[in-house]
């Protein structure tokens, strides 16, 4: 199974962190999950039956990829209230994430418990979107010999579509992409954009085009996204594709400079990476001085990044 599985679990962990005590809430918002874990562990010593604290403790451990601790916490919740869909979902998700981190023989021993928890969650809550996403990915990524099934995945994609057309289209796009049916995958990703038009929809189609080695289409899709979403990150993405594939270099240079000029701490990609992409663009243009200028800026900001040092060696050979 691939790391893409259970991304919705991590999203839901963040969502549930918002109802904690003031101090724990601060640690979650600041992404200081180790401190949240310690705070909750101390609290649970004297309040072992506080269900919200148990759930938050599992969430804090999950964010740190401490899957055994998260599983133990969610298992207590499932034991106390087996008919709460979200407990079953988180328990199955934590088991699934552990399965991704261990050898395949140990992972096989977890499969039935993962499926059981997700199916229970889906049955308990017919509106639970994240569980149905997890089941789509679960059935697609498992080999058929141990329970994988495209038809079952499509069944849950249909359920998703009844709850949310966008999610249904994205799920079908994912299924067909995984099944290497590129025509249907592109069709459903485009339908998701037409239906919802969120950044998530555009990101899925962009990622699909990149995997298919179609950078022109990826760049065009991102350009369309900028007309609907004023997000600085889109400028970086366009510059990255331009630099990686040596296409539309002038546009890529402009986008990266815009990203740098508008950069704020809320942007997830550090400026150093924008400098790195600019260095790549000028390397393509065979402008050694400009390429050195930008790669040195990248190295000055993140001196331990090996990719930057490797790129500098390439530039020096120009």
> What pLDDT score was predicted for residue 30?
85
pTM of the entire predicted model: 0.86
| Banded pLDDT at 24 (limits 50, 70, 90) | confident
Residues spanned by the domain of 263:
231-318
Same domain, 240 and 121: no
Quote the number of domains for the chain. Answer: 2
Same domain, 116 and 236: no
Final residue of a domain: which of 91, 125, 159? Answer: 125
Per-residue pLDDT of 125-154, as tens digits, reads 999 999 999 999 999 988 776 778 999 999
> What pLDDT score was predicted for residue 13?
53
Same domain, 117 and 236: no
Q: Which two tokens stand for residue 313?
A: 């060696």
Residue 157 is assigned to a structural domain of this protein: no
Q: Which two tokens stand for residue 103?
A: 């050898």
Final residue of a domain: which of 98, 125, 152? Answer: 125
Final residue of a domain: which of 80, 97, 125? Answer: 125
Closest CA to 62 of 23, 110, 14: 14
DSSP category for residue 203: H
Same domain, 2 and 119: yes
Task: From residue 133, give the alpha-carbon distance in Å to each of 123, 136, 198.
Answer: 14, 5, 17
Residue 20 is assigned to a structural domain of this protein: yes
Residue 297 is assigned to a structural domain of this protein: yes
Confirm if 168 and 161 have CB atoms less than 8 A apart: yes
Residue 197 is assigned to a structural domain of this protein: no
| Banded pLDDT at 268 (limits 50, 70, 90) | confident
Residue 312 is assigned to a structural domain of this protein: yes
- CA distance from start to end of the chain: 42
Residue 204 is assigned to a structural domain of this protein: no
Domain harbouring 275, CATH code = 1.25.40.10
Residue 210 is assigned to a structural domain of this protein: no
| Banded pLDDT at 307 (limits 50, 70, 90) | very high
Residue 97 is assigned to a structural domain of this protein: yes
Cα separation of 306 and 318, whole Å?
A: 19
| Banded pLDDT at 4 (limits 50, 70, 90) | very low
Same domain, 2 and 116: yes
């Amino acid at each position: 199974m691939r790391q893409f599985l259970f991304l919705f679990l991590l999203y839901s962990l963040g969502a549930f962190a918002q109802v904690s005590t003031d101090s724990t809430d601060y640690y979650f918002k600041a992404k200081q999950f180790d401190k949240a874990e310690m705070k909750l562990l101390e609290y649970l010593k004297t309040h072992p039956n506080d269900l919200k604290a148990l759930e938050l403790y599992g969430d804090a451990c999950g964010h740190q990829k401490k899957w055994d601790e998260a599983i133990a916490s969610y298992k207590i919740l499932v034991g106390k209230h087996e008919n709460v869909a979200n407990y079953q979902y988180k328990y199955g998700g934590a088991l699934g994430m552990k399965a991704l981190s261990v050898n395949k023989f140990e992972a096989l021993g977890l499969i039935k418990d993962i499926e059981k928890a997700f199916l229970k969650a889906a049955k308990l809550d017919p509106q639970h979107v994240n569980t149905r996403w997890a089941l789509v990915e679960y059935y697609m990524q498992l080999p058929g010999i141990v329970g994988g099934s495209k038809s079952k995945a499509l069944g849950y994609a249909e359920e998703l579509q009844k709850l949310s057309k966008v999610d249904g289209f994205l799920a079908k796009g994912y299924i067909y992409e995984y099944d290497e049916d590129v025509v249907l995958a592109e069709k459903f990703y485009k339908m998701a954009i037409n239906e919802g038009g969120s950044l998530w929809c555009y990101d899925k189609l962009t990622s699909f085009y990149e995997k298919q080695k179609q950078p022109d289409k990826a760049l065009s899709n991102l350009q369309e996204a900028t007309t609907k979403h004023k997000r600085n990150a889109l400028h970086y993405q366009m510059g990255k594709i331009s630099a990686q594939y040596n296409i539309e270099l002038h546009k890529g240079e402009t986008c990266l400079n815009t990203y740098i000029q508008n950069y704020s701490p809320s942007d997830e990609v550090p400026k150093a990476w924008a400098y790195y992409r600019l260095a790549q663009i000028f390397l393509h243009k065979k402008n050694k001085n400009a390429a050195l200028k930008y790669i040195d800026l990248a190295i000055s900001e993140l001196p331990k990044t090996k990719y930057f040092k490797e790129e500098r060696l390439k530039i020096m050979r120009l």
